[in-house]
Amino acid sequence: MLSAKDLACTRGDRLLFTQVNFQLHPGGLLYVLGENGSGKSSLLRILCGLSPPEQGSVMWNGEDIRRHADAYRAELLYIGHLNALKDDLSAAENLRISSCVTGHDDGADRVRAALHAVRLARCADLPVRNLSQGQKRRVALASLWLSQARLWILDEPYSALDAAAIDLMAARIGEHLASGGMAVLTTHQEVAIPAAGIQELRLTP
């Protein structure tokens, strides 16, 4: 279970948000809403433990994530604005190596299957620099098919994707929730994700 208590965040001397509280239970989905610059990405980075909050704390199963960082990171998948792909490596190499870096070595077959799932099987061996923006995003999101993490934190996962790919991702997120996973995401598109418990969190200063 992920919970946030009285989170506050500042950028420079501007207050982005205060008093953010929520509890996310297994199977739950949290939409973070707000205008551009309202601090959605900053909130997600705080939830990952990349940045410290100005105030308040983030708890994973009742423990502060900054104190039990290693255990928390093992259950976390974060996909940010940046795709974390190397232009000079192929899509398959990128996924294979990043899965090794995060500690669970997915074999070549699983990586191929994940790329097949995002409809990129034909581009698996092309250098990522030759792919379009949307295809790069799909390679990054192929880790949704590889990850064993229980908590997914996704920052604008649908950016640059076409309608078919968006449905694909939404369905995958739905599957993850149905199997007891949790997800936090920001998006500007209205996409229906089948989930038992959907919460919305609107960020206001």
**Least distance to other proteins, CB of residue 82, Å:** 3
Pick one of 20, 43, 44, 85: the residue that binds other proteins (CB under 8 A).
85
**Least distance to other proteins, CB of residue 49, Å:** 7
H or E element in which residue 132 lies: none
CB of 61 or CB of 204, closer to other proteins: 61
Number of Cβ within a 10 Å radius of residue 170:
19
Pick one of 13, 36, 82, 109: the residue that binds other proteins (CB under 8 A).
82
CB 136 within 8 A of CB 62: no
**Least distance to other proteins, CB of residue 163, Å:** 25
Is position 86 an interface residue for other proteins (rule: CB under 8 A)?
yes
Q: In Å, how far from its chain's centre is CA 204?
A: 22
Is position 125 an interface residue for other proteins (rule: CB under 8 A)?
no
| CA distance linking residue 180 with residue 26, whole number of Å | 5
CB of 8 or CB of 89, closer to other proteins: 89
Buried-exposed string 138-149: b where 16+ CB fall within 10 A, e elsewhere? bbbbbbbbbbeb
Pick one of 8, 33, 59, 89: the residue that binds other proteins (CB under 8 A).
89
